[in-house]
Amino acid sequence: MKNVSRIAKLYALTMPLLAASVYGQKWTTPTPEELSMTSIPEVPGAAAVYLNKEQATDDGLHKYDFYVRLKVLNEKGLDYANVELPFVGGMGGYNIDAVAGRTVHPDGSIVEFKDKPYEKLVVKSAGFQYKAKVFTLPAVTVGSIIEYRYILRMDDNYFMSPDWNIQSELYTRKAHYMWRPTNALLQNEDGSQSSQSVAWTPILPAGDKIVEKPLYTSATTSSNAPNKQLDLDVHDVPPIPKEEFMPPIGSISYRVLFYYTDVKSAKEFWAQEGKRWSKARDKFVGPNNGVKQFVAGAVSPTDTQDQKARKLYAAVEQMENTEFTRERSTREDKAGGLKQISNTDDILARKRGNGDQLAELFVAMCRAAGLKAYVMGVADRSERIFVPEYLSLRQIDDYIAIVNIDGKEVFFDPGQRFCEPEHLAWKHTLIGGLRQIDGGTTIVGTPSTPYKDEHIDRTAMLTLDEHGLATGTATLAYTGDAALRWRQEGLKGDDTSLNEDLKANLEHMLPGGMEVRVTSVDHLAEFDKPLAIHYEVKGPIGSSTGKRLLVTANLFETNEKPKFPEPKREVAVDMRYPSITSDAVRIKYPEGLVVESAPPDSKISYPNSAAFNTSSKTAPGSITLYRNFINGRTLYLEKDYADLRGFYGKVETKDQETLVLTRAVPGTTPAAPTAEAPTASAPVATTTKPSGN
């Protein structure tokens, strides 16, 4: 599901009467301690601290009230004076109004916010406009307290259960959350009846609980008005951990997720919602006549099931993916003689669609070709983890396809432009979701990518002079997600901007001062072939010390910083996907120099998870240095961190070793160097087998 489908919209059959506003419009008088505060001991060096946050939702008024009070502690905290409030326009959306604010200086003087926020368009998609109200609080300096409040107003015919995001990037001294849920009879967007019952999934600090209390209603009060109130008070909430290689922030932070439901268990909810969801998918997928006619001409009866699936996948991948271009308006479609989108025939007629639509079109084509094919809705692992206990389809971000080929279910990702066939983009691997099965739906997880399918080969052929200046060529070749990343980057701009990014990528790896130029890019738009970028390079890779020349041995790891510098870690390590990196660097050196010492061959392993080795091969006038690294695992738990950190520490130490060249003994003449280019093919020597989880 894309964009607005993440918003739970519920239509009221009867309208509630207005109730009193939850909060008044009074500001908070700062205490002397707040005015003089310069830091917080809980988070040394913090840019700012939330003194107070409030969020109140009143379904009777179709609105959310927000109040933020923040202390700026240093120069970085000045950025919080710039406020951007997102909202969704269009039917069933919501708007931002009643924005007010002020700045309180450390001496107690006050500067009121008197301007009006300006509105900017963020994204326009399928009839909805994602916008933001933007404003800057006045005269903010280090030590200022900034306050602002605003109201988020829903369409009068819609309700949206709130999410309480308790934890943020800043320390929070105090926060209050409140919801008065409607008592109206509700129905879903598809017309099916929903419930007035409210449930929630809490992830809260120990001891914090939601308090539920009844609201007094008189005989004259509408039966649809809120009849209960949910409250939560929290204090001294630490900031979200900020570490490298973290799982999705939303999956580990304190929060409360609400939803309307009348079911008694998660099993019952997913059975009911899954049936409704699958019915809607089948209605859209078909296949109908247009898809059937296309497939009849695209595949042959003599094709194997795998051949059929690959031909149809290639056909879908050739279509325009509007997530990398733009959505067309209804007016544009009408001008082109196209009717409103109601099924996959309409996507085929346009030869374009968003990622979900293209995934459903691929499923329709496979079904038309006689293959069993299913839609699966998954979470985006770059943003969230699917939690079955959270009873909401809002967790589904994207659609993928599952096709039964010769009795084996194979996963495809046609909604990801340039994704290889029978491969999932990393953000759709090892994540849960809801999938179709014969006769219903079920919750399952997606597979990991085998590490052998995620390969980076880095090779260089360099000629060195006696001063350590190298000239030559380098090639970086990618398969899997690394290739997908660069191919999709290429869709965001032109060839010039892509080449600049590719150039900067290699410059970041190589020793400082090296000149890099992209000479060619192979197979940028051919997802079934390795992506290869060819460079010319020139610059210093060595330094002279008397009769010796000290040369960087692991050229592509020169600027790598320690991955895990902290001795302790609060959260698991998410490496995104398993992979292999193979390096081969051949250095030809001038007459009069010989290898005095090369980094010794090495083998380092992390049992059943990762392996590393280096080796070298000398020839007259040249040396080739090999480096191979396998990470066969995606997730490392906190208990694994000490061993993982130790493994990477050994690897990083090895990567900093130096090749030493020295003057040859007078009277000896080295033979001519070998001319063939090196290949990054030296095998990784390990007795362990990476697990791939």
Average pLDDT, stretch 374-393? 92
Strand partners, 253: none
Dist CA 455 CA 535 (whole Å): 19
Amino acid of residue 204:
L
Average pLDDT, stretch 461-486? 96
**Which region holds residue 692: left if phi is over 0, alpha if psi is between -120 and 50, else beta?**
left
Which pLDDT value is given to residue 577?
Answer: 95
Which pLDDT value is given to residue 14?
Answer: 26
Dist CA 486 CA 495 (whole Å): 12
Dist CA 686 CA 211 (whole Å): 56
Encoded tokens for 645: 């950190």
**CB 329 within 8 Å of CB 336:** no
Which pLDDT value is given to residue 685?
Answer: 40
Encoded tokens for 244: 């490298």
Specify the DSSP element, H or E, that contains 136: strand 128-136
Which pLDDT value is given to residue 279?
Answer: 96
Which pLDDT value is given to residue 196?
Answer: 62
Write down the mean pLDDT value for the chain.
87
- Among 116-125, 213-222, 272-281, 530-539, the range scoring the smallest mean pLDDT is 213-222
Dist CA 365 CA 400 (whole Å): 14
What is the band of 528 on the pLDDT scale with cuts at 50, 70, 90? confident
Which pLDDT value is given to residue 19?
Answer: 32
Which pLDDT value is given to residue 378?
Answer: 97
Per-residue pLDDT reduced to its tens digit, 325-374:
866 666 766 777 777 899 999 999 999 999 999 999 999 999 999 999 99
Angle, in degrees to the nearest 10, between helices 305-317 and 289-298? 110
Which pLDDT value is given to residue 188?
Answer: 61
* DSSP, residue by residue, 564-598: --SS--SS-EE-SS-EEEEEEEEEE--TTEEEEE-
Average pLDDT, stretch 170-182? 94
Specify the DSSP element, H or E, that contains 119: strand 118-125
Which pLDDT value is given to residue 127?
Answer: 55
Dist CA 425 CA 415 (whole Å): 10
End-to-end CA distance of the chain: 26
Per-residue pLDDT reduced to its tens digit, 505-526:
999 999 988 999 999 999 999 9
Which pLDDT value is given to residue 15?
Answer: 28
Which pLDDT value is given to residue 161?
Answer: 81
Residue 672 has pLDDT above 70, yes or no: no
What is the band of 25 on the pLDDT scale with cuts at 50, 70, 90? low
What DSSP character marks residue 498?
A: H
Average pLDDT, stretch 281-302? 97
Amino acid of residue 654:
K
- What is the torsion angle, in degrees rounded to the nearest 10, for the CA atoms of residue 280, residue 281, residue 283 and residue 286? 180
Question: Position of tokens 């290898």?
Answer: 595
Residue among 182, 147, 149, 177 at smallest CA distance from 163: 177
Residue among 40, 41, 60 at smallest CA distance from 49: 40
My answer on whether omega of the bond before 106 falls inside 30° of 0, hence cis, is: no
Which pLDDT value is given to residue 392?
Answer: 85
Which pLDDT value is given to residue 18?
Answer: 29
Per-residue pLDDT reduced to its tens digit, 393-416:
889 999 999 999 999 999 999 999
What is the band of 158 on the pLDDT scale with cuts at 50, 70, 90? confident
Q: Quick one: what percent of the chain has pLDDT higher than 70? A: 86
What is the band of 677 on the pLDDT scale with cuts at 50, 70, 90? low
Which pLDDT value is given to residue 316?
Answer: 97
Which pLDDT value is given to residue 221?
Answer: 54
Q: Quick one: what percent of the chain has pLDDT higher than 90? A: 67
CA angle 130, 131, 134 (to 5 degrees): 155
Which pLDDT value is given to residue 306?
Answer: 97
**CB 10 within 8 Å of CB 188:** yes
Dist CA 373 CA 390 (whole Å): 27
Which pLDDT value is given to residue 23?
Answer: 44
Of residues 131 and 676, the one with the higher pLDDT is 131
**CB 368 within 8 Å of CB 362:** no
Residue 11 has pLDDT above 60, yes or no: no
Dist CA 112 CA 115 (whole Å): 9
* DSSP, residue by residue, 234-301: EEEEPPPP--TTPPPGGGTS-EEEEEE---SSHHHHHHHHHHHHHHHHHHHH---HHHHHHHHHHS-T
Residue 148 has pLDDT above 80, yes or no: yes
- Among 79-83, 149-153, 159-163, 624-628, the range scoring the smallest mean pLDDT is 159-163
Encoded tokens for 344: 């996959």
- Give the rounded distance of the alpha carbon of 382 from its chain centre: 3
Which pLDDT value is given to residue 650?
Answer: 96
Which pLDDT value is given to residue 124?
Answer: 63
